[in-house]
């Protein structure tokens, strides 16, 4: 997954991070002295969603000043879990003065952002137009704010296919023009403890004069589905855990219940009796889509979580042994959210579609933590 597409850009390193033992920055004799004189670091998270990236950065020791997102459904989970202000605003309407006000008084400004990735996904590439309108333009808006505010540290996360588009190259070229030291890498999230086979493009950029790199992988062996969600109470399709409203499973039709009972972990719909196979999969074109209507495997990581990960027919989202799709809580845990992460108020009704969107779109928390530790190490604050 790692290559050299951007070797022509002088300050861009597109490769696996190097574990450097050289300590950069101010030479201090003890950790206690560094802590005493530690600068005030503040982070603003654009396109913050439910707070996956912010929560990971916070776990690494960064102070989250604010999160900005156009979706009002993000307000409660972001604020309830991150002790930070949520700003319900379109990033296109955010001015440099607005952004500076969110940072407040600090010594180091960290601007983070994960522009919605749907425009850069394989499925959406057929709809690309001029690259500057709609969601395609959001990465340009991120670029605008970087150029106008000049934060000390910039980090961006997106799908790996973003690198194929001019908007991404323009973003990297802007950072280079502004004299940022830039590192780009396609990361296998499973190597940082995320229990799913998710790959993401991570960009780290710094104006502090030294190269910034992603910390080395922390997990030689993947975290399995069993280790991540195996201890949760069992559920039937359509049932909710009385102690956790997010541990709720979608109901299944009589046909889909029969289909999941005929499914084996790691198998496909090709294992079913022919009368159960959907009509759309019986033709030659449909036979190339075996990854829908599948069960996960206990001993392996989960597939990439999507915004529809709560539906059995939407991918390999069937529970390994229970006759249902994974619950919203299980999906959140597979995104490496803590088991107690709050997505809705206690008295609020759970909306599967809304919360599925928030969970599926989130940056995995443990990837956010790795990015945060990389920033802290670069600033010599770890």
Catalytic residues: 117
Residues in the chain: 382
Q: In angstroms, rounded to a whole number, what is the distance separating the alpha carbons of residues 313 and 272? A: 14
Q: What are the CA-CA distances from residue 242 to residues 230, 276, 319 (Å)?
A: 18, 33, 19
Q: What are phi and psi of 213, to 5 degrees?
A: -130, 155
DSSP state of 209: S
Q: Is the sign of the CA dihedral 228, 82, 59, 303 positive or negative?
A: positive
Q: In angstroms, rounded to a whole number, what is the distance separating the alpha carbons of residues 357 and 329? A: 13
DSSP H or E segment with residue 82: helix 75-82
Kindly give, in sequence order, each residue whose CB lies less than 8 Å from that of residue 312, ignoring residues fewer than 6 positions away. 250, 252, 256, 259, 260, 293, 318, 324, 325
Coil, helix or strand at residue 202 = strand
The conformational region for residue 315 under phi > 0 = left, psi -120 to 50 = alpha, else beta, is left
**Nearest in space to 315 (alpha carbons), one of 254, 355, 263:** 263
CB 249, CB 238: distance < 8 Å: yes
The beta-carbon contacts of 296-300 under 8 Å, at least 24 apart in sequence, are 296/225, 296/265, 296/266, 296/320, 296/326, 297/225, 297/265, 297/266, 298/224, 298/225, 298/226, 298/230, 298/265, 299/224, 299/225, 299/226, 300/222, 300/224, 300/225, 300/266
DSSP H or E segment with residue 81: helix 75-82
């Amino acid at each position: 997954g790692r290559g050299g597409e951007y070797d022509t850009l002088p300050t861009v390193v597109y490769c696996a991070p190097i574990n450097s033992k050289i300590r950069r920055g101010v030479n201090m004799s003890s950790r206690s002295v560094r802590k005493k004189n530690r600068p005030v670091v503040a982070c603003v998270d654009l396109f913050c969603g439910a707070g996956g990236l912010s929560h990971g950065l916070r776990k690494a020791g960064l102070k989250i000043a604010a999160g900005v997102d156009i979706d009002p459904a993000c307000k409660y989970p972001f604020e309830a879990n991150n002790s930070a202000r949520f700003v319900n605003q379109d990033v296109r309407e955010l001015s440099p003065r607005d952004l500076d006000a969110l940072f407040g008084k600090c010594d180091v400004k960290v601007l983070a952002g994960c522009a919605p990735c749907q425009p850069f996904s394989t499925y959406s590439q057929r709809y690309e137009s001029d690259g500057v309108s709609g969601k395609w333009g959001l990465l340009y808006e991120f670029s605008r704010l970087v150029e106008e505010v000049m934060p000390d540290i910039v980090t961006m996360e997106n799908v790996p296919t973003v690198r194929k588009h001019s908007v991404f190259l323009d973003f990297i070229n802007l950072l280079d023009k502004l004299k940022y030291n830039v590192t780009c890498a396609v990361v296998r999230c499973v190597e940082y403890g995320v229990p799913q086979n998710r790959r993401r493009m991570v960009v780290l950029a710094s104006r502090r004069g030294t190269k910034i790199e992603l910390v080395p992988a922390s997990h030689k062996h993947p975290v399995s589905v069993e280790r991540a969600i195996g201890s949760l109470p069992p559920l039937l399709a359509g049932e909710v855990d009385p102690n956790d409203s997010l541990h709720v499973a979608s109901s299944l039709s009589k046909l889909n219940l029969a289909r999941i009972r005929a499914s084996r972990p790691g198998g496909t719909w090709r294992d079913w009796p022919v009368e159960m196979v959907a009509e759309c999969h019986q033709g030659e074109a449909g036979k190339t889509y075996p990854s829908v209507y599948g069960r996960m495997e206990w001993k392996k990581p989960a597939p990439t979580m999507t915004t529809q990960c709560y539906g059995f027919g939407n991918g390999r989202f069937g529970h390994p042994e229970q006759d249902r799709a994974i619950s919203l809580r299980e999906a959140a845990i597979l995104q490496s959210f803590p088991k107690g992460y709050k997505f809705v108020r206690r008295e609020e009704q759970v909306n599967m579609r809304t919360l599925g969107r928030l969970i599926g779109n989130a940056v995995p928390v443990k990837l956010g933590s790795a990015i945060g530790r990389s920033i802290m190490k670069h600033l010599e604050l770890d």
